[in-house]
Amino acid sequence: MPQNDTLTTLQPDTVAEFIFSDSEEAVAVSPVQIKKHSLFENHELKTQAIIPRPHDRPIEDWITLVIIIAVVLYTALFLIYSRSIGRLFKAIVNYSVSNQLVRDENITIQRVSALLSIGFLITGGLVLSLLAEHSEKLNFDLSDTTMFFISLSLLAVVYTLKMILVKFLGAVYKAEKTASNYLFHVLLFNNAAGLIFLPLLIFHFFTHHSHDYFLWLCLWVFAALWIYRLLRGIMAWLSVSRHTVLYLIFYICALEIAPLLIVLKLL
């Protein structure tokens, strides 16, 4: 006895022609099994890991503390010595203002410059420790905190020795005024670099953007300020010094280019 409302069982994804008869049963004629194709089969993303990975990067507490100390320091300086800081940064773009500040030897300006130098050591030490972390040649088995304090101490020692050497050479060659002018410009542009480093470091640690981008931006900022300071130093030398260009070349090679090449060699 035929069954009502029944179809011949077919495999999935099968194309067939059906013939209906009086026996109330549909018969499939020449069924053809087809292969299933997908338009996006070659563009499917392959799963590499089933364990979810967070996109945020944990920031160590000591980094946050260092950033807070730098922010507090710069904020306090701008609130207390806003006029003196304005004169200092005006001297960056105005050569006559810088000469006037060197001649005046204002105690407040010197105090503010020293405090800004502390900010440069903090932010510059943090940038230098990050560069050491990315360098394969400086792959020491040290913690990030230790590397930061080593970088900060290295900056302090290098610039202290540089100031002593410049003072010594100025006394030997009877160019004390030129040496003072040179050191003033070194501190001036370092202080500007330290202030610019701070927001870049904040973006580097506390945003989801490319972290290396802000680190390289710090390097480009320092390179631009270094070149500008070198040109200003040459102008200062030529304007107040009576010595030949040979002494100028000695200053540039010994105190500017040689330390930079050493740092690039290590990185």
Number of DSSP helices (H) and strands (E) in the chain, helices first: 9, 2
**Series of mean pLDDT values for 10-residue runs along the chain (267 residues):** 51 52 51 51 60 61 90 93 88 81 78 91 91 71 85 90 84 77 85 92 78 81 87 72 65 73 68
Task: Round to whole Å and give the CA distance between 13 and 138.
Answer: 62
Q: Write 117-121 long-range contacts (CB < 8 A, 24+).
A: 117/159, 117/187, 117/190, 117/191, 117/194, 118/73, 119/70, 119/73, 119/74, 119/77, 119/191, 119/194, 119/195, 119/198, 120/155, 120/190, 120/191, 120/193, 120/194, 120/197, 121/152, 121/155, 121/156, 121/194
Q: Report the alpha-carbon distance of residue 182 to residue 94 in Å, rounded.
A: 15
C-alpha to C-alpha distances, 57 to 54, 131, 209, nearest whole angstrom: 8, 18, 11
The reported pTM is 0.71
3-state secondary structure labels for all residues of 139-180: CCCCCHHHHHHHHHHHHHHHHHHHHHHHHHHHHHCCCHHHHH
Name residue 140's amino acid.
F
> For position 34, what pLDDT does the model report?
46
CB 176 within 8 A of CB 105: no
The domain segmentation of the chain, as residue ranges, is 61-266
